[in-house]
Structure 1
Amino acid sequence: MRLDPPYTGDPFEVQRMPYRFTRLRFLDDGIHGLLTEEDRSRGWSRTYLLPLNGKQSRPLFEHSVRERYRHPGFPFMRTLANGHQVAQTLGGDLLLSGQGAGPKGDRPFLDKLSLKDLSVQRLFQSAEGGVRAARGAARGSPAADAARDRARAAQPGAARERQGHAADADQGSDAAVEGRAARAGELQAQRRRGALVLDVPAAGPARG
């Protein structure tokens, strides 16, 4: 149900779901929400794109709650200044991240789902043998970059990078400068692609 300001009239129905309501996430575009329901008898989940202006919703995807190999991913969330989290969009498209589970292990991915035609574009997927995961979508502001760098320093891969910095310093100033420039160039390239990509410990094959 929905009740608009000044909240004196009667509420009207926005969405009727045949199964149990699970969650409602708002997109950072301010005009859409993601509404999820679950059929507990089947163990089935369905997510709708819900326009906040009262128009009819559209199904986005559905899958088993135990799905691993063909899971579409989860909305890529970011935190607003007021502390609330919203699903992040990029150029009007929804960002989805997932584990990318398969018989040979996890290959995390970052997808872009068009809210116009529901087509999916893969922005990134970890190669086999080493797991890399998107941890933050690029926003382009120095403050956001600094926050991502702090988060990067707390990740397991950061210890290896700090060791790399120390090794560069031991090899002399020229090698240290070249090492820092190479790492900075790689990080900037990843930001231009729309995500900060970090090394994380590899996981074994999915079970079940």
Structure 2
Amino acid sequence: MPDKLTFFTTFVTSGFIFKIVSEFLHEVCGHGFFVLLFGGKITGVHISLLWPYELSHISWSFTDDVGLTQLAWIYVGGILVCLLASFTVQTFMFCKKKVQWHLAIVLFWLAFWTLVNSTGYLIIGGLAPFGDVEELIGLGVLTKQSSLLIGLLFFALGFILLSWVLRKLFVEIYPLRKASFGVSLFWLIIPLLVTVMMLSPERSLAWSYLPLSFIPPSLSIALEYLLFLSK
């Protein structure tokens, strides 16, 4: 294992890089794949380095009319691909006994950002519809309630698995108690992301929802304390 400084530097740098990678997966491998599958043409791609303050987007065109079912697949494609990528990686890391530390960091961030990208879209979109979720609600594929429920269920599952993966990664560098505390500290990234999102002029989410974003870190503190820190 590397020294703590090398580990921390790699961890933070990889986090930023794979935030961008997850946006690429959402826009190009998600929406773009279905656009091309249905005979369309991708006319532009913008991957924002400032997400979640600024949204990434993709534009496309079709020479013929596009059916509602095809449109639904195109709009859900980004969320679907990110969910698939996240839980495939999470399952691999959960089942794999040993993964090299640098690969483990990369895979963790890939799983985390694709989870947040997809479930965040569903949860925030369920509270204040925008973007893909707004389009899917308009097409009758989702409702605000179903979007919120699906997002919460997938996030809860990912929260449990990723906490286990992150603890396993941290314990290679730190004693168990510090590693467990580090997991809880990590989940403060959720209220940070929500705050950045609320500052964006592209969103209309009320500030009254901000306290809800502290549920993951609060729950993590409680679970880590009961399972590890209290012993």
Q: Bigger relative contact order, structure 1 or 2, given CA contacts below 8 A and separation 6+?
A: 2
Q: Is TM more than 0.5 here?
A: no
> Higher strand share goes to which structure?
1
> Higher helix share goes to which structure?
2
Larger Rg computed on CA atoms: 1
TM-score, length of structure 1 as denominator length = 0.25
TM-score, length of structure 2 as denominator length = 0.23
